[in-house]
Structure 1
Amino acid sequence: MSILATEQVSHSYNDRWLFKNLHFALQKGDRVALVGINGTGKSTLLKILAGIVVPTDGKVVKEKGIRIGVLAQEPDFTGMKTVNDFIYSADNEQQQVIKEYELLLNNDVVDQDKLADLMDKLTALEAWEYEHNIKTILNRLQISDFTQDIHSLSGGQKKRLSLAKLLIDEPDVYILDEPTNHLDIETIEWLEKLLTTGNKTVLLVTHDRYFLDNICNEIRELDKGNVYTYKGNYTYFLEKKAERETIDVAMADKARNLLRRELEWMRRQPQARGTKSKSRIEAYYDLEDKAKGPQKKEQVQLSVKVSRQGSKIIEIENISKSFGSNTLITNFSYTFKKGDRIGLAGKNGTGKSTFLNLITNSIQPDSGTIEIGETTKFGYYKQGGLEFKEEDRVIDVVKNVAEYIEMANKDVITASQLLTLFLFPPEKQYAMVSKLSGGEKKRLQLMRVLMGSPNFLILDEPSNDLDIDTLNVLEEFLENYPGVLVMVSHDRYLIDKLTDQLFIFEGEGNIRIYNGNYADYKSEQENALKEKKEQEKTNTINTPAPVSVTTKKTLSYKEQIEYEALENEIQQLEETLETKANKLNTLSDHTEIMTIAKEIEDIKITLDQKSERWMELAENI
């Protein structure tokens, strides 16, 4: 049974129908990825399902009392002043008590009576675990200053704050529009585990293929106003989509051939009077609709000219860079070589963008030297987005760079022809840039960078807001790109496919040069961690117990309350587990069996965590 669905929904935007009479439904436990090229209406459909946008026609129906959490591409903080105001909902009693508790602990002098009162309230509301979860989420998303003015945050900080609020609220349905934008790879991997724990219902739009595969068990494609469903991973989707498109193109071609013959008949016929003629005329119009089907699909063709590159590209010698007390780079040296394909990896704020600004001379190092070769020509695709005037048309943005462009094969094409290759048809070329979708603006920005014929290409988060189709073709171009490629991306698939060397920003100014892609690096890390744990286990077994007894740490008041609460919680969990297990033995319906089995699995995980914590506290009593 659907918990959220559209009923005959139609919606138009800028005098163009995005979809008509659309049916889209979610059942509890569905984890669905919505894919499609930029401009097809993916973000609009998410907003309609979330109740943010009212459709032109039709309606959205949802299960009574269902809570929907939305992560938009551009979060709205209207009416909010500080980070604290946004995180803790005024109508959520648990969150308000946790807010008071955290604010009190941050005071220089803590009112012990008030602290005891708040701790009693947290225990009564069974909110200690919730408080721990909130702290974990905020720390993971690098949110620490709760008094900061919300409007002073950067775009990335606002997106992370909005994601934190969504995860803290634990809605019944998670609607996520590009959730991995502005997250580092470690945080993305943590988010994957969080979203796949429990029987969560998730609908997301993402360009990140690893994230899509790890989260979703179903892919739905929005194409020309229709939704096509694929059960399986991204590779399966690509195979079945290609099959569907081949069949659709063949049927449309056949209809067009028949239409030409029927058109001659229509022109020769007088006003039809007989039943047979009327039937044929109706069939003609039906055939005309079928002939409007897809033709062989165009692809973005990125084959622009690359400038000649000399032997000296960039030489970096012992550079360091700090901002106040924050040291980002210390004594780093590297000489770029022809064919270098380097990915920059590391947590947010460790200096990746600073490094890019240093090698392009946008900022200067505190010490050390950077020498740039005379023939080195940069192409820098930045996160900031496309700069344009409100009155600019799409074609004006291109003509401002050049009227004619030389391609890799020496052909010279016009700005309009290049736009067509980038999937901007003539009607869009003369439209206002302000009416393009976010992904279309990014595609236009990328095209402008490549028009400069760079031989040193820098891509700072190129996958943000680009549709997967455009990314696939961009990857194909970059695989054959003869210049130097330096890329910052949280997209592990992109890094794995296009780089063979990493600069790993480890923090505190350290940059480690690693030969291999991210998959190699991650595998090496996991193996090292596994070996370390096995060694610690061996050492524990072989080490005799100490003769002297160490003094036990006494429990704090908060820990004592937590210990007593855990005893009751563990007992309740064990009883629930037994009840669920007994119920499982009586079921015959496959769907119910799967649901109960999943619930048992989640209860066992929670029970293990609480039991481990109880034992830890018990040792200090």
Structure 2
Amino acid sequence: MIAIIILSCNKINFSFGINKILDNVSFSIKNTDKTGIVGVNGAGKTTLFKILTSEYTPESGEIYIAKDLNIGYLEQNSGLDENNTLLEEVLTVYSHFIDMEARIKELEKCISTEKNEEVLNAYMKEYSRLSEDFSMLGGFEYNSRAKGVLKGLGFSEEDFDLKVGKLSGGQKTRLSLSKLLLKEPDLLLLDEPTNHLDISAVEWLENFLKEYKKSVMVISHDRFFIDKVADKILEIENRHVKLYNGNYSDYIKQKALDREIQQKHYEQQQKEIAKMEVFIEQQKRWNRERNIIAAESRQKAIDRMEKIEKPEKLPDKIKVKFKSNISSGKDVLFVENLSMEFPGKPLFKDLSFNVRKGEKIFILGANGTGKTTLLKILTGNLKQTSGNFRYGYNVEMSYYDQEQESLDPDNTVLDEVWDASPDILQTEIRNALAIFLFKGEDVFKRISDLSGGEKSRVALIKIMLSGSNLLLLDEPTNHLDINSREVLEESLSDFDGTLIVVSHDRYFINKLATRIIYIENESSILDFNGNYEDFLSYRNRINASNENSENTNKKISSGKLQHLASKEEKARKRRLEKLILNTEKRIFQVESRLDEINKKMQSEEVASDHVKLMELNKEHDELNKELEELYKTWEEASLEASNYSSP
């Protein structure tokens, strides 16, 4: 496909009252681009979409949209007929096929009964033309295509007969997304499309968008998703935009490099200007005619110089540090034959696992498999159907509820946090609130008036101040922008306690997980040591094995799956042990060489040889850098190896 520009913005400006949102924004999108849009909450991402769809009108600037360009934008639950079934509603996208089908059937009846040859010929011609068009346009596939998209986004065949009016808000959003994808617009605008999707549905959507033959612009805080889908990143920061080539990982590297280069160029130019200004002052003091001319000439050179701007200040980040007040025992939690079912709906059965101090366990599985229910049982908010659990010695637990039901809507932010930690001085509470970007009058906002992201930050403050050594977190990254997610990752990575987390954020899971408990269905539960990429690699191999076994009418049992996972774990542990051993050997070699260099540099022979001294000093610096990396590798590998269960 030939790449052509289908949309461009030139010097777009937009404000809400006195609050400037977009300033002098310019960029272009081609028909082959898959563009991820990133920025902190409130940066103007959704505002930009509403400008592109003409819902908002910019104060100034120009927007070019290619002639006849069909733009598709997901608007929440708009235009759904609540009396339709789910399948009937999604098939409204194909009303032209349904009309053609009805006319073809009507013509078949007419042809079978018509006696007049001239009229019959007319019917036959119309029937032939319609049948050919129906086939060429994909009429025979539309029904299966619609069902395929619905299944991909997490609906089962049993859901197809549900009335739209009976669907939850999340199901309606998925239905609207299904309809939009099936319309196949020339430019697809998606605002947080992974909300309300479980991991398998997100993976399906990734593959759909990667194969999509037209242009996509997607706003998302899901870094794993953008990494897979985007080939360009449009960053909105400090009211300005910048377009980067590559996916999210490429963008992070390029942005850091660009800032570093700009900072160096800025500093170099400032030094040059400072020297020129010293020269000008000196010439002015001498105050002769030629000195005045020289000073004026140099001043004109400064004025003509194209000034390099200092890199803009990055948006504020929350600063979080989770630290336990007391240390728990080595055994944190024992879960034995835990089962849970609601009337007519079993969730999980005979779930057993132990948790050891320092583990970072993530509970994964499709929506409806009981992940949140499991956390609520472990926190005492729900009673299990059967089985039991108990906590170990000195365990102090805090729970992050994704629904934020524990927050009192009538409280102010200050009161909500202080009520949870009454022994802490108000000054310390205010400092903690400031760290989480609640400053000045913000601390007196009512909880009921806060956004989803602000409520999340309040809940995180309460957990941070609790000093608990076991954190049970249910979707902690929901409502957080990418900056805040990265800070939370770093903080939880350094946490000296134990984590049990439910999350759909695969980037977050991959960064933190030392162990994954995957609930596939009520009777199939997999306990897996490793991060998300390890788990994904293992699962892909198992799926391939399942496909092969289905060809011979065999199915891999749950016990066999666990055996294979255990085998995989042992192989990874051996690789880690080998890495640790090789790293230790190299550390010994580097440290020995550094000792040699130190001795040589102190010898009289080398001390008088300037060239040799420079060479040894350079090698010394390089080896020290390598040693730092080796220590880091050894620490990470040792920590990961320690998380594997003992044989």
1:327-346 aligned within 5 A: 327-346=346-365
* 2:312 aligns with one of 294, 304, 328: 294
The structural deviation recorded for 1:506 is 1.5
* 1:351 aligns with one of 346, 350, 370: 370
The structural deviation recorded for 1:344 is 1.1
The structural deviation recorded for 1:216 is 0.8
For 1:235 and 1:100, how far apart are their aligned partners in 2? 50
**Counterpart for residue 319 of structure 1:** 338
Q: What are structure 1's unaligned runs of at least 5 residues?
A: 102-111, 263-275, 407-411, 540-621
Residue 303 in structure 1 maps to residue 321 in structure 2: yes
Q: Are the aligned partners of 1:37 and 1:467 in contact in 2 as well (CA < 8 Å)? A: yes
The structural deviation recorded for 1:468 is 1.7
Residue 76 in structure 1 maps to residue 77 in structure 2: yes
Which stretch of structure 1 is more off in the superposition, 81-90 or 449-458? Answer: 81-90
One-letter amino acid of the structure 1 residue matched with residue 25 of structure 2: L
1:277-288 aligned within 5 A: none
Q: Are the aligned partners of 1:82 and 1:146 in contact in 2 as well (CA < 8 Å)? A: no
Task: Encode CA deviations 1:575-605: one digit per residue, 9 max, x unaligned.
Answer: xxxxxxxxxxxxxxxxxxxxxxxxxxxxxxx
**Secondary structure of residue in 1 paired with 2:369:** coil
* 1:130 aligns with one of 134, 138, 142: 142
The structural deviation recorded for 1:173 is 1.2
* 1:194 aligns with one of 180, 191, 208: 208
The structural deviation recorded for 1:49 is 1.8
Q: Are the aligned partners of 2:322 and 2:492 in contact in 1 as well (CA < 8 Å)? A: no
Looking at CA atoms only, which structure, 1 or 2, has the larger radius of gyration?
2
1:23-422 aligned within 5 A: 23-58=26-61, 60-71=63-74, 75-77=76-78, 80-82=81-83, 84=85, 87-88=89-90, 92-94=94-96, 96=98, 125-126=134-135, 127-143=139-155, 144-146=158-160, 148-150=162-164, 152-246=166-260, 294-295=312-313, 299-311=317-329, 313-373=332-392, 375-385=394-404, 395=414, 398-399=417-418, 401-402=420-421, 414-422=428-436
**Secondary structure of residue in 2 paired with 1:125:** helix
**Counterpart for residue 526 of structure 2:** 512
Alpha-carbon distance change, 203 to 450 in structure 1, aligned in 2, over 3 angstroms: same
Output the TM-score relative to the length of structure 1. 0.70
Task: Encode CA deviations 1:508-566: one digit per residue, 9 max, x unaligned.
Answer: 34322122222222222323444566688899xxxxxxxxxxxxxxxxxxxxxxxxxxx
One-letter amino acid of the structure 2 residue matched with residue 32 of structure 1: T
**Counterpart for residue 409 of structure 1:** none
For 2:214 and 2:510, how far apart are their aligned partners in 1? 29
**Secondary structure of residue in 2 paired with 1:128:** coil
One-letter amino acid of the structure 2 residue matched with residue 328 of structure 1: L
Pairwise CA RMSD: 4.5
Which stretch of structure 1 is more off in the superposition, 167-176 or 298-307? Answer: 298-307
1 or 2 for the larger relative contact order (CA 8 Å, sep ≥6)?
Answer: 1
**Counterpart for residue 585 of structure 2:** none
For 1:338 and 1:485, how far apart are their aligned partners in 2? 9
Alpha-carbon distance change, 381 to 131 in structure 1, aligned in 2, over 3 angstroms: same
Q: Are the aligned partners of 1:9 and 1:57 in contact in 2 as well (CA < 8 Å)? A: yes
Alpha-carbon distance change, 123 to 384 in structure 1, aligned in 2, over 3 angstroms: farther
**Secondary structure of residue in 2 paired with 1:336:** strand
For 1:322 and 1:122, how far apart are their aligned partners in 2? 51
**Counterpart for residue 513 of structure 2:** 499
Residue 12 in structure 1 maps to residue 15 in structure 2: yes
The structural deviation recorded for 1:12 is 2.1
**Secondary structure of residue in 2 paired with 1:303:** coil
**Secondary structure of residue in 2 paired with 1:482:** coil
Q: Identity over the aligned pairs, expressed in percent? A: 32
Task: Encode CA deviations 1:289-338: one digit per residue, 9 max, x unaligned.
Answer: 968x6347754321144232433633222221111222111112223221
**Counterpart for residue 612 of structure 1:** none
**Secondary structure of residue in 1 paired with 2:216:** strand
Q: What are structure 2's unaligned runs of at least 5 residues?
A: 113-126, 278-294, 554-647
**Secondary structure of residue in 2 paired with 1:24:** strand
Task: Encode CA deviations 1:13-36: one digit per residue, 9 max, x unaligned.
Answer: 364111123223321011011111
For 1:224 and 1:141, how far apart are their aligned partners in 2? 35
1:600-615 aligned within 5 A: none
The structural deviation recorded for 1:60 is 4.0
Residue 521 in structure 1 maps to residue 535 in structure 2: yes
For 1:432 and 1:255, how far apart are their aligned partners in 2? 49
Q: Are the aligned partners of 1:98 and 1:131 in contact in 2 as well (CA < 8 Å)? A: no
For 1:464 and 1:528, how far apart are their aligned partners in 2? 30
For 2:17 and 2:332, how far apart are their aligned partners in 1? 47
Task: Encode CA deviations 1:403-430: one digit per residue, 9 max, x unaligned.
Answer: 8869xxxxx9533322332344547556
For 1:427 and 1:298, how far apart are their aligned partners in 2? 18
Which stretch of structure 1 is more off in the superposition, 22-31 or 520-529? Answer: 520-529
How many residues of Structure 1 are paired with residues of Structure 2 in the alignment?
A: 509
